[in-house]
Amino acid sequence: MSPAKPPSDIAPESALSILSADQRRHYRDHGWISVEGLVDTRWLDRLRAVTDEFVEMSRELTASNALFDLEANHRAADPRLRRLSSPADLHDTYWELAARSVITDVAVELLGPDVKFHHSKLNFKAPRGGEEVKWHQDIQFWPHTNYDLLTIGVFLDEVEAGMGEVGFVPGSHAGPLYDLYDGDRWVGALADSDLAAADVERAIYPTGPAGTITVHHCRTVHGPAPNRSSRARPLLLQTYAAVDAFAYTDLVRRSPHGEELVRGKPARWARHDPRPCLMPPTGPYRPIFAAQQREDEPPRDRA
């Protein structure tokens, strides 16, 4: 017999819980939460040191590649990165944060007890104009048999209003999935005509000191804002899945830690949510920024 879905009631918190029952309820009802200063200074120092090394490496590049997604005005003297792709596959420090830290505990408290890592990315949002990410939902980029996936963002530096903080539309995880195609073309963003229906005006934009985390559900509508400040806004994002959510695409199957179990036991049964999911086009991987800015064809992305 196939296992039943775990009850969605909020379990009482234990002495070891990272999140309070109220925070877990907020995530369930609103599809996002933020927790100020959760990641400690020791972690932040390690993460920043490794990140500085990757920024140094990017100086010699003149074009984006599989690891580094560069802004058009990236220069050796003034490195402007949009994204470092799959950091958890590139350095043990990022992987340790994803797999064995307070962040993993948060993923387990919201999805658990059995949880897989899916993928990670580090979005830099460079100062003075660092590129916006348009309104979107994540799951259409990497559809699964159900919707028990979430992404945890860690602020590597303080984020104040105007620094390109991400906005989340409360309750949108329980609403429709939007079409991220424009006609036949995958654009990875909601159509302008859907923005009113998605009520993006109601979005909440969490700010906070370095170490603050945001957690958003894979159906939550979230997006944009360019960085107008004079500081970069490095946001380290890691995505997790309940073990019985199985991917329909092979996006991370070749990445070293893609779909690796981080807590509990693997699943033998896939759990299927009856709600349909939009599929991204097949083809080579292309970063979200390129898709949304229509920098090139062909189409495919991991959000």
Q: Which residues bind ligand AKG (CB under 6 A)?
A: 123, 125, 133, 138, 164, 166, 222, 235, 288, 303
Maximum C-alpha span of the chain: 61
The answer to whether 135 and 190 have CB atoms below 8 angstroms apart is yes
Q: For residues 15, 34, 302 and 8, what is the CA-based torsion angle, rounded to 10 degrees?
A: 50
d(CA 128, CA 231): 8
Select 90 or 114, whichever has its Cβ closest to ligand AKG. Answer: 90
Select 17 or 229, whichever has its Cβ closest to ligand AKG. Answer: 229
d(CA 81, CA 91): 18
User: What is the residue type of 159?
Assistant: V
Q: Least separation, in Å, of the C-beta of 215 and ligand AKG? A: 13
Q: Least separation, in Å, of the C-beta of 235 and ligand AKG? A: 5
User: What residues have CB less than 8 Å from 116, skipping those under 6 apart?
Assistant: 240, 241, 242, 243, 245, 259, 260, 261, 262
Q: Least separation, in Å, of the C-beta of 178 and ligand AKG? A: 14
Select 106 or 235, whichever has its Cβ closest to ligand AKG. Answer: 235
Select 44 or 237, whichever has its Cβ closest to ligand AKG. Answer: 237
In this chain, which residue has its C-beta nearest to ligand AKG?
123
Q: Least separation, in Å, of the C-beta of 16 and ligand AKG? A: 30
Q: Least separation, in Å, of the C-beta of 259 and ligand AKG? A: 19
